[in-house]
Amino acid sequence: MTRAPTTSFRFAPGLLHRLDAYAERLSAKTGVPVSRAAAAAKLLTEALDREPPALRDAAMKKRDTERHAARVANPSRGRRRK
């Protein structure tokens, strides 16, 4: 299993309550414990998968262009040291 990078978000208490309630409902439905992080990842994935392909493609192209520009500006950045 690949380890995902740790990411944090600041959510309002009401949103966290809703997220925890969703995780509990998902746990009850599946019979498997569901963490807050897993519930958030599921909801984000579902929402992003519903995004129209044109918006997804434009966002990915912009990201790739920005990464390429960063590599050109600083070619040694991002390379792993041996």
3-state secondary structure 67-82: HHHHHHHCCCCCCCCC
CA angle 12, 20, 25 (to 5 degrees): 145
Give residue-wise pLDDT tens across range 38-61: 999 999 999 988 888 777 777 777
> Does 74 have pLDDT greater than 70?
yes
For the question of whether the overall pTM of this predicted structure is more than 0.75, the answer is no
Backbone angles phi, psi at 30, to 5 degrees: -95, -20
Of 74, 79, 48, residue with least CA distance to 66:
74
Which DSSP letter does residue 58 get?
A: H
What pLDDT sits at residue 57?
Answer: 76
